[in-house]
Amino acid sequence: MSKCCGNGKKANAKQCDPCAPPSVECGSVKQSTGASDCPLAYFENMIDNCYDYAVEAKANGMPIVGIMCEFASRELIMAAGGVPVCLCGGSAKTIPAAEEHLPSNLCPLIKSTYGYHIEKKNPFLEMADLIVAETTCDGKKKMFELMAESRPVYVMELPQKQDDPDAFQHWVCELEKLKLRLEEQFGVQITDCKLKSAIEVMNRERSLRRNLAEMMAGDDPPLTGRELLQFKSSISGIPADFEQYEKALSMFSGKSRVKDSKSRVRILMTGVPTVHGAERVVEIVENHGGQIVCMENCTGIKPIIDDIDPNAPDLIQAVAEKYFNIHCAVMTKNNRRMEVIRELAKKYRAECIVDLIWQGCTTYDIESFYVKKLAEEELGIPYLRIETDYSPSDSARIAVRVEALFETVKSNAHHLTTCG
């Protein structure tokens, strides 16, 4: 059965072979093929794979713990014998139900997630024994209050001043309290041995995903940005995922697959997370001549930059340090984000920066001021801020702006060539 390639056109099975070089039209959209030995084909079924894993785990007595943010320590959940599952909604279809309770000008990620809660359509949310929430943004914080009326929700308070030692100690206390809650609810003891083992599992996952991301730094990236995004699983620590990560590194490293890769505009994408189902802007950018070589967001490099020392004398403090250093836009002042973008733009040789903002996301919206300044005044590359939601109604307008951005990049490159 043929499937749409994201631009309204049909593609045959040969064109959409997940391991074959993606064309401009086909890009890296989902295909139904028999290429089960291909990592891309495996991760196209990521939701089904995660569902099967979660069902089996729950049948074997392992609690399912829902999370909505990278600040929720997967290591502590895994050390408690639990399965951490990302609950972030990426569908516009559940938003109308959410807007019966939530304001319409709220972030679509929050509304989509809450809509799944209202309509009971997210199987991971329905099987969750606990939801570990956090006070990152006001929208999520208040949404969790409503969700807690009918589901078990535990909220961690996230301090938002990374340069304040007292704030860090408060965060350590918050993780200690989370540890206690997990132990009490699931009748387990989180020992240093269990926590060390969980840290090692997550370090391995982060390392594998970093290595995949770093393949994109070369002159001829072997994947599209959309394909790289597929390697973000909703559940961490699945052994089969690790096997596929390693297979992908072996299969794609140093290979030339992406059509016209060297002539495409190299893009660093930053801003809000592009969760499963909300990849529309990524596809628009790459269907119009772009190559996203680096994603500096929560579904990209941001949460996998730092590992945790499994031999640290105080493992809770080591876990706290890793998560407290995440350069989320809720932090004030968020200097590290600009430092990371600067380093990544140079490492991946970005020719421009695309800053994606979900409507209603005040923190990332305001920080776009600093990102634009960094791109244009310091790095000397064009910048495009895209504010949108999950509706496709503005796709044509976004495409026009993206094409204009690429024309600017190519014009600048031509000017440098002729003047050099």
Alpha-carbon distance of 86 to 417, in angstroms, equals: 46
Confidence label for 10 from pLDDT (cuts 50, 70 and 90)? very low
Mean pLDDT of 57-85: 97
pLDDT at 3 over 60: no
pLDDT in tens, 385-407: 999 999 999 999 999 999 999 99
| Domain ranges within the chain, ordered by starting residue | 1-35, 46-195
Residue 322: CB partners within 8 Å, gap ≥ 6? 306, 307, 308
Distance of CA 51 to the CA centre of its chain: 19
pLDDT in tens, 180-193: 999 999 999 999 99
pLDDT in tens, 94-147: 999 999 999 999 999 999 999 999 999 999 999 999 999 999 999 999 999 999
pLDDT in tens, 348-390: 999 999 999 999 999 999 999 999 999 999 999 999 999 999 9
Percent of the chain with pLDDT over 70: 90
Helix (H, G, I), strand (E, B) or coil at 352: strand
pLDDT in tens, 223-268: 999 999 999 999 999 999 999 999 999 999 988 888 887 789 999 9
CA distances to 163, 188, 309, 312 from 315, rounded to whole Å, are 21, 18, 8, 6
pLDDT at 29 over 50: no
Confidence label for 416 from pLDDT (cuts 50, 70 and 90)? low
Distance of CA 317 to the CA centre of its chain: 25
Out of 14-28, 85-99, 105-119, 198-212, least confident range? 14-28
pLDDT at 412: 82
Place of tokens 């408060």: 170
Of 205, 219, 294, 209, the closest CA to residue 249 belongs to 209
| CATH for 46-195 (3.10.20.600, 2.60.40.60, 1.10.1060.10, 3.40.50.11890) | 3.40.50.11890
pLDDT in tens, 282-293: 999 999 999 999
Of 358, 393, 366, 368, the closest CA to residue 113 belongs to 358
CA distances to 44, 150, 237, 374 from 202, rounded to whole Å, are 22, 31, 7, 32
354 φ/ψ sector (left φ>0, alpha ψ -120 to 50, else beta): beta
Mean pLDDT of 141-170: 97
pLDDT at 67 over 80: yes
Helix (H, G, I), strand (E, B) or coil at 54: helix
CA dihedral 63, 64, 67, 73 (to 10 degrees): 40
Helix (H, G, I), strand (E, B) or coil at 48: helix
